[in-house]
């Protein structure tokens, strides 16, 4: 066992941020797959997390696969799915059902739709406004969500 692996001896679970920790740009950091394989082989739980709502977990899985990393979508929690899950939980607990206007990209759209929400582009028809990463943001988008 290497010194690095000995350091993990007491660790039962780990969460890793993605951008800058698992990869930089389109390149994985050295030793990442070996670390994840070690955690699997020793029965430790782990998950990759990100505050980037632009992609779904499946899209992030595909992204890291293109870098040579093997990470199932179930091992990735993005803020798009976390937000959709949280909002669904609130509605299920009694918040009013309603349409959602978003300021975000496909990952957020997809997660909210999968959680059972109807999306709208009409700010006056929306019960909820949700924002996430949007690299194509326009003033009109911002104004609509702000209403």
Q: Over the stretch 13-26, which tens digit does the pLDDT of each residue have?
A: 999 999 999 999 99
Domain range enclosing 32:
12-79
Over 70: is that where the pLDDT of 34 sits? yes
**Of the listed 3, 19, 92, 122, which one is catalytic?**
19
96 located within any domain: yes
Is residue 3 annotated as part of the catalytic site, yes or no?
no
Is residue 19 annotated as part of the catalytic site, yes or no?
yes
**Of the listed 17, 40, 62, 106, which one is catalytic?**
17
Phi, psi of 51, deg, nearest 5:
-95, 10
Summarised one tens digit per residue, pLDDT across range 74-86 is 999 999 999 999 9
pTM, 2 dp: 0.83
Give 144 or 57, the one with higher predicted confidence: 57
Indicate the SS3 state at residue 27: strand
Report how far apart the first and last C-alpha atoms of the chain are (Å, whole number).
58
Task: Report the candidate in 125, 81, 80, 78 with the shortest Cα–Cα distance to residue 99.
Answer: 125
Structure tokens belonging to residue 130 = 């949700």
Mean pLDDT throughout 4-14?
Answer: 81
Split at pLDDT 50, 70, 90, the class of 142 is confident
Question: Does 51 share its domain with 97?
Answer: no
The number of folded domains in the chain is 2
Choose the final residue of a domain: 53, 79, 105: 79
Question: Does 72 share its domain with 85?
Answer: no
């Amino acid at each position: 066992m290497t010194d690095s692996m000995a350091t993990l001896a007491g660790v039962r679970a780990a969460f890793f941020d993605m951008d800058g920790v698992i990869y930089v740009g389109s390149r994985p950091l050295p030793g990442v797959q070996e670390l994840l394989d070690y955690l699997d082989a020793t029965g430790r739980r782990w998950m990759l997390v990100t505050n980037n709502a632009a992609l779904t977990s499946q899209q992030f899985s595909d992204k890291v696969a293109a870098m040579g990393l093997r990470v199932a979508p179930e091992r990735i929690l993005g803020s798009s799915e976390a937000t959709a899950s949280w909002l669904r939980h609130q509605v299920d607990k009694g918040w009013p059902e309603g349409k959602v206007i978003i300021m975000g990209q496909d990952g957020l759209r997809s997660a909210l739709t999968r959680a059972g929400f109807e999306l709208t582009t009409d700010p006056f028809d929306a019960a909820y406004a949700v924002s996430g990463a949007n690299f194509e943001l326009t003033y009109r988008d911002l104004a609509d969500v702000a209403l």
